[in-house]
Copies of this chain bind each other. A is one copy, B any other.
């Protein structure tokens, strides 16, 4: 972990060395940002580095982009990636794809490289696997200019996350999102305690369990359902087991109860946002909304 104060006064070599790896294979970014010192905040430092990228020539930008590995490719599996890239891709299992998935990524990578001449860049930690594939397909329809800008924006997201983890200091840019919930029992006008809640990610073909929790006396979960990292863009479902809750309270209902497990299915589109997705329920009705 580096320290912003020290970076502000370090000599050029130490400064560039400390930031090595933030912008993959591109020490020139740090070299140019140095002129904007001192940085009051970590966000300012990141801004100065992105400014260096924005004012570089197209050739340098393309060089920066080409310094990134392909996504989910054999090359990636073979290990020819920076440690940061390996870790990021690994978080989605992109280094452990099945042969069929690998083939799909290879096909998309090939199409992208043929059309644009550089690899498809996306900030993996802000996406589910489905969202990556959606973006991959959609961005194949971009013009070369649009795709270069899109790649640079993604490099902005990737490097912001890396910088926040590498540099200690005030004014860190926001890189974490949060998903929370609460359950209100509209029969008693009180928070519903003891409700089982199951959060899953819903991919195109499969579901994966992310979290199980029981609501506390305040009708909330003791910890947010998701926090401490960017939320991955994608589809989710929270299943609220309110049938068991109302049965335990002895509230007369039909057999079987009209509502048992209530699924709320929604998408997350802002990785750094706060999604509050509550359930207001009686045994016969409910409502939900995106709150904050």
**Among residues 254 to 292 in chain A, which have CB atoms less than 8 Å away from a CB atom of chain B?**
254-263, 265-267, 269-270, 280, 282-292
Q: Mark A228-271, 1 if CB is under 8 A from B, else 0.
A: 00000111000000000000000001111111111101110110
How many Å from the CB of A272 to the closest CB on chain B? 13
Q: Does A186 contact B (CB under 8 A)?
A: yes
Contact residue among B189, B258, B280 (Cβ-Cβ distance under 8 Å from A189) = B258
**Among residues 121 to 153 in chain A, which have CB atoms less than 8 Å away from a CB atom of chain B?**
131, 134
- A265 touching B261, Cβ below 8 Å: yes
Across-interface contacts of A291 in B (CB, < 8 A): 184
Across-interface contacts of A114 in B (CB, < 8 A): none
Copies of this chain per assembly: 4
Across-interface contacts of A262 in B (CB, < 8 A): 265
Across-interface contacts of A284 in B (CB, < 8 A): 186-189, 289-290
- B187 touching A282, Cβ below 8 Å: yes
Across-interface contacts of A191 in B (CB, < 8 A): 292
Across-interface contacts of A292 in B (CB, < 8 A): 190-191, 218-219
Given contacts A254-B269, A260-B265, A267-B258, contact A285 B186 (CB under 8 A): yes
Across-interface contacts of A260 in B (CB, < 8 A): 235, 265, 267
Given contacts A186-B289, A190-B292, A292-B190, contact A254 B267 (CB under 8 A): yes
Contact residue among B235, B253, B269, B286 (Cβ-Cβ distance under 8 Å from A287) = B286
Q: Mark A185-212, 1 if CB is under 8 A from B, else 0.
A: 0111111000000000000000000000
Closest to A134 in B: B256
Q: Mark A97-115, 1 if CB is under 8 A from B, else 0.
A: 0000000000000000000
Across-interface contacts of A282 in B (CB, < 8 A): 186-187, 189, 282
Q: Mark A161-202, 1 if CB is under 8 A from B, else 0.
A: 000000000000000000000001011111100000000000
Closest 7 CB pairs of A and B: A189-B284, A287-B287, A285-B289, A254-B269, A256-B267, A186-B285, A189-B290
